[in-house]
């Protein structure tokens, strides 16, 4: 009778072990998938920028310095490390350059009326929304994963199998500044 109880306890422990381990793997894979979604949207934005630059080049008196800042920020984003911190920094620089770019475009009525420019501006705006949503999804997945590897009893398996904490996609200092609006 004692052997049966011992065997039953062993089976329960093994089943719990498998369930917890599989849960950790699923959460880690969800974080990887969420990161891939951010990466897809960042690449989509990077691919739109050359078309935008070509469209604007036709307007010879357009701010060349601003155009160069967008190109430089795009190149930096392309070579940024594929980590939450590295991508956040590059993403912030690119977003800032694009904001400045579109603010300056307001002074060029012909450019603002250009159908290609308007389509690209709309595509970039939609992509920015997708990036924001992908960041939120990623951060939610990271929170669930980090909580899972830090709570008992999964913390025991997490440490045995080297599941490590993942960084969230945080806003950079320049993104935390609230714009001043005056009327």
Q: Name the fold adopted by 2-170.
A: de novo design (two linked rop proteins) (1.20.1440)
* 121-152 pLDDT, tens digit each: 899 999 999 999 999 999 999 999 999 999 99
Question: What tokens were used for 32?
Answer: 């990887």
CB atoms within 10 A of CB 77: 23
Apex 10 CA angle, 5 and 12, nearest 5: 95
Question: What tokens were used for 65?
Answer: 């310095």
* 72-95 pLDDT, tens digit each: 999 988 888 888 888 888 888 888
pLDDT of amino acid 173:
56
pLDDT of amino acid 171:
67
60 pLDDT exceeds 70? no
pLDDT of amino acid 180:
46
181 pLDDT exceeds 60? no
Whether the Cβ atoms of residue 137 and residue 169 lie closer than 8 Å to each other: no
61 pLDDT exceeds 80? no
Whether the Cβ atoms of residue 99 and residue 132 lie closer than 8 Å to each other: no
* Mean pLDDT of all residues belonging to the chain: 87
pLDDT of amino acid 179:
44
In the chain, what are the helix, strand and coil shares in percent, each to the nearest 5?
80, 0, 20
Whether the Cβ atoms of residue 172 and residue 73 lie closer than 8 Å to each other: no
Helix axes 115-150, 84-105, angle to 10 degrees: 160
Give alpha helix (H) positions in 80-114: 84-105, 109-113
Question: What tokens were used for 92?
Answer: 């912030």
Domain definitions of the chain by residue range: 2-170
Whether the Cβ atoms of residue 67 and residue 50 lie closer than 8 Å to each other: no
């Amino acid at each position: 009778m004692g052997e049966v109880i011992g065997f039953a306890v062993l089976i329960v422990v093994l089943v719990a072990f498998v369930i917890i381990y599989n849960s950790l793997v699923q959460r880690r894979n969800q974080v990887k998938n969420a990161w891939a979604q951010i990466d897809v949207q960042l690449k989509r934005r990077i691919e739109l920028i050359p078309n935008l630059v070509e469209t604007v080049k036709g307007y010879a008196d357009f701010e060349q310095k601003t155009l160069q800042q967008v190109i430089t920020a795009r190149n930096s984003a392309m070579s940024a490390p594929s980590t939450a911190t590295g991508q956040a920094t590059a993403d912030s620089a690119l977003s800032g350059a694009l904001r400045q770019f579109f603010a300056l475009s307001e002074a060029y009525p012909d450019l603002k009326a250009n159908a290609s420019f308007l389509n690209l501006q709309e595509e970039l705006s939609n992509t920015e929304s997708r990036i924001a949503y992908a960041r939120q999804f990623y951060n939610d997945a990271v929170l669930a994963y980090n909580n899972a590897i830090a709570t008992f009893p999964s913390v025991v398996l997490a440490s045995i199998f080297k599941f490590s904490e993942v960084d969230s996609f945080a806003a950079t200092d320049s993104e935390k500044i609230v714009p001043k609006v005056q009327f």
